[in-house]
A = this chain, B = another copy of it.
Amino acid sequence: MFKGGFNRAAIAAFCLALGAGAAEAQDWQHAQNNINGPLTLHSQGSFFVGGQDTTSDALNSGSPSSGTVTTDQMYVQFQIPESRGKGKTPVIMIHGCCLSSKSWEETPDGRMGWNEYFVRNGYATFLPDQVTRARSGFDATILNEIALGLDGKTAKDIPYIYSIGHEGAYTSFRFGATNGVPYKGEQFPVAYVEQFYKQMIPDMNDFLGVGQPPGLYVGPNPTYNNLSQLAIQLGGAVIIGHSESGFFPENAALVSTKDIKGMVSIEPGGSCTTVNPETQPLTAAQIKTLARIPTLIIFGDNLNGGWLNSYANCQQYAAAITQAGGDITFIHLPDIGIKGNSHMMMLDKNNLQVADVIIQWIEKHVDK
């Protein structure tokens, strides 16, 4: 009978004894080592923002079946520190392509993620899963219609689904220039990269706009509106976006600036002009609107390929916001002495150091 709390020695012995399962047991051992002192919460929970009722004629792919389903809803988990977040604007963290809010939790090597670190620093944190991803779900109707041959739909109508392979992630997330060979001084915990690969899941944003040309979804994304609504429900929030969602804070602000107190764009995927629709250049009026909200843009080290384009584009964006009288800070981490950071800087070995950069910015530009 198990009676003694968690027995680390037993788990360590298990790791040594077992071959194939050792890495997994090690995960859990790491998890137990994630001891930063007790964490006291005022409260925690999860809820949904947005969503609407839609009638589906293809609830399953076995036989035609009609009913109502909810679509476009956004799952949000939250934790409020014992201080109830007093004096600190709540933080919403929205994950990137092919990922879920797992990005903000425990790192692949078992260290504390940004969700907990922000809570320990007195911030209430709100972690959505993007609409069509993970616990937010997606509308499977189109796939079932195709399977059933309804309305003349065929395999050509399957929306664009994007999975990133290990090899592509290794280089594009900048763990190294070549698959399996880390950059010198690389901060990503590459010894645990297999654990990271487990959190990569298919990106189904194109399910939001069936009929678009193949490519990641470029139309109006309900996540923008949901983020805006969430900020309003909180009575004020800083929105942190990353990669695919790097410009989601700005897109949410273009829905409504109300209660968006700050925007943090971490290595926006594509560019700093991925507004709704993504291909449309920002207008002067939009720049003026966005300039009303303090903004922080962050890029890590070893920028390559498309990231160099994003970097240049975001610098142009920053110049435009400054020109419009806005308060925008552009940080290239190596320039402030923080080197070796990958695209997944919230999971890097120095992830808390990067978090401190954001926290200090919030203190100076939002909660001043």
Residues of A whose CB lies within 8 Å of any CB of B are: 1-7, 10-11, 14, 21, 24-25, 27-28, 30-32, 34-36, 38-51, 53, 56, 59-63, 65-70, 73, 75, 77-78, 80, 82-87, 89-90, 100-102, 105-106, 110, 112-113, 116, 124, 129, 134-141, 143-144, 146-147, 149, 154-156, 158-168, 194-195, 197-202, 214-215, 229, 232-236, 261, 366-368
Quote the shortest CB–CB distance from A68 to chain B (angstroms): 4
A45-B116, A137-B200 are known contacts; what are 19 more A-B pairs with Cβ within 8 Å? A1-B368, A2-B89, A32-B43, A32-B80, A35-B42, A35-B43, A39-B40, A44-B116, A45-B110, A59-B163, A61-B158, A65-B165, A67-B164, A67-B168, A70-B194, A77-B105, A136-B201, A137-B202, A147-B161
Question: Are B161 and A143 interface neighbours, CB within 8 A?
Answer: yes
Quote the shortest CB–CB distance from A205 to chain B (angstroms): 12
Give the residues in chain B near A50, CB-CB below 8 Å: 24
Bound complex: CA A233 to CA B158 (Å): 40
Bound complex: CA A147 to CA B210 (Å): 13
Most B CB contacts (10 A, CB to CB) among A31, A43, A62, A168 go to A43
Bound complex: CA A133 to CA B51 (Å): 19
Bound complex: CA A112 to CA B50 (Å): 21
Question: Are B199 and A48 interface neighbours, CB within 8 A?
Answer: yes
Copies of this chain, count: 2
Question: Are B28 and A47 interface neighbours, CB within 8 A?
Answer: yes
Q: Which of chain B's residues has its CB closest to A3's CB?
A: B87
Question: Are B11 and A233 interface neighbours, CB within 8 A?
Answer: yes
Question: Are A42 and B46 interface neighbours, CB within 8 A?
Answer: no
A235 CB contact (under 8 Å) in B7, B35, B69: B7
Bound complex: CA A268 to CA B65 (Å): 24
Question: Are A84 and B6 interface neighbours, CB within 8 A?
Answer: yes
Question: Are A235 and B6 interface neighbours, CB within 8 A?
Answer: yes
Give the residues in chain B near A200, CB-CB below 8 Å: 69-70, 137
Question: Are B201 and A138 interface neighbours, CB within 8 A?
Answer: yes
Closest 9 CB pairs of A and B: A67-B165, A137-B201, A45-B106, A2-B236, A62-B214, A5-B86, A147-B158, A48-B198, A140-B202
Q: Which of chain B's residues has its CB closest to A10's CB?
A: B235
Quote the shortest CB–CB distance from A322 to chain B (angstroms): 22
Question: Are A1 and B367 interface neighbours, CB within 8 A?
Answer: yes
Bound complex: CA A31 to CA B146 (Å): 39
Question: Are A6 and B85 interface neighbours, CB within 8 A?
Answer: yes
Question: Are B3 and A367 interface neighbours, CB within 8 A?
Answer: yes
A165 CB contact (under 8 Å) in B11, B48, B56: B56
Quote the shortest CB–CB distance from A206 to chain B (angstroms): 8
Bound complex: CA A233 to CA B214 (Å): 43
Give the residues in chain B near A5, CB-CB below 8 Å: 83-87
The 22 sampled A-B contact pairs (Cβ below 8 Å) are A2-B90, A2-B236, A6-B124, A11-B233, A21-B229, A28-B234, A30-B47, A31-B47, A39-B40, A45-B110, A47-B110, A60-B162, A61-B162, A62-B160, A62-B162, A67-B165, A75-B102, A135-B201, A139-B163, A140-B161, A143-B143, A146-B158
Give the residues in chain B near A135, CB-CB below 8 Å: 100-102, 129, 134-135, 199, 201
Bound complex: CA A10 to CA B261 (Å): 17
Quote the shortest CB–CB distance from A214 to chain B (angstroms): 4
